[in-house]
Structure 1
């Protein structure tokens, strides 16, 4: 367990609110929470596991929000979610066996790559909205989500944008429907990957619960906002945060101190 000053508690909750909102509207919340936990002195594996406590709560709340608004496809969600659950166990096994230094470097590079997707959306030219989906296409999406599950179990940060890109290309569904599927699938595989981190002793429950409280509030607000539409203004704020945190993880700031 990491012992933090009392004044860090509001910061953790506020970060959770921001992350829950971002994850539900599009993705990228873990690009903020993961580095924050590492900067607080957590080993990378514990930061990874603790973050997942909040993500479980966040996605349950987000699914409830989308279901309340009438956006919920349980059958297709399970076709995507079950392979992702299996993949997440594999990915989590990789994560708990990596050194902090290697993990932090990988996280920083992933953050910058995801930032490119956030800002420039290279997948958009391949999207055909509201295309009719065949059974074969649905099962192909399930195979893709096995590998997305591996990534989610391993590092998680930015997986929302990867899921949005994959579903946009594979299904052509609207962004609201894709977001409703995204939070359901992530909610499923986060549980299985969290079990791996719990069994290896890499979860700080107190900080995880504080983060979860914030994530729940942010996720509910995000589900309402996502249905109404519009998330472009978030990208630039997220971009500035991601760049700063990635540079910190890469040790660039240490060159000036």
Structure 2
């Protein structure tokens, strides 16, 4: 599939913004997913192609967070493994679900996440951070398994669920939780992307162009995570998600 310079510009710009907010909090895919559909990809292709950008974005973010000493691979395995197993199930469901159902799910999700963002989920996440334990409890492993199922299926909005699980459930502070979050997403995205590639639903040209933007945004956010504020990002995201939801559901 060919792509115009204008469409390539939109993909890079959207990817830049999505990679930035994905690394700091989450829901950047609520921008890139409807954009890919707006540019002509089917819901299945958009859902699959978006994972190429997510993969590169998190490779960059994990590298920078690791350099800052915010990621411990060994302690993260207890949460990473159930999320990866869950993502295999979620991605397998996504490649087989009907296009009409997937389109309805994406459109409905956009409106649900609009109100989640509106109610400032990051505020209660920040205020209830505790002390992380050496090993998560069994119920925490189950929670991350289902987060993995959701992430493998659709990805959009999974950052909020991961942050809530890592901060409220495990006890990490928000900066540490962001670092572990991108490591978990990187691991299960690599597996889920393999399933989408096998199903033949990935548009590589769109995915690579979008990945350039996502990786750049992730680099900026992870490099300066301690200095960047996300107050105004929320307002832009709200407007974008609302308009995208209307477009996906009704047009």
Aligned to 1:115: 114
Aligned to 2:10: 11
Contact 2:61–2:182 (CA<8 Å) still a contact in 1? Answer: yes
**Cα distance between partner residues in 2 of 1:26 and 1:232:** 11
State the superposition RMSD in angstroms: 1.8
Matched, 1:131 2:131: yes
Matched, 1:199 2:201: no
Alignment CA distance shift 1:70-1:239 (3 Å): same
Report the TM-score, using the length of structure 1 for normalisation.
0.91
Shift of 1:76: 2.7
How many residues align? The count is 250
**Cα distance between partner residues in 1 of 2:115 and 2:170:** 22
Contact 2:52–2:211 (CA<8 Å) still a contact in 1? Answer: yes
Aligned to 1:95: 94
Aligned to 1:105: 104
Shift of 1:224: 2.6
Report the TM-score, using the length of structure 2 for normalisation.
0.93
- The alignment partner of 1:7 has SS state of helix
Contact 1:88–1:154 (CA<8 Å) still a contact in 2? Answer: yes
Matched, 1:222 2:221: yes
Shift of 1:132: 4.7
**Cα distance between partner residues in 2 of 1:44 and 1:94:** 14
Q: Deviations over 1:98-144 (max 9, x none)?
A: 2222111111221222232222145828963232525353x432221
Aligned to 2:187: 188
Structure 1 spans left out of the alignment, 5+ residues: none
Contact 2:85–2:145 (CA<8 Å) still a contact in 1? Answer: yes
**Cα distance between partner residues in 1 of 2:218 and 2:208:** 15
- The alignment partner of 2:130 has SS state of coil
**Cα distance between partner residues in 1 of 2:21 and 2:136:** 32
Contact 2:75–2:134 (CA<8 Å) still a contact in 1? Answer: no
Aligned to 1:148: 147
Contact 2:129–2:174 (CA<8 Å) still a contact in 1? Answer: no
- The alignment partner of 2:226 has SS state of helix
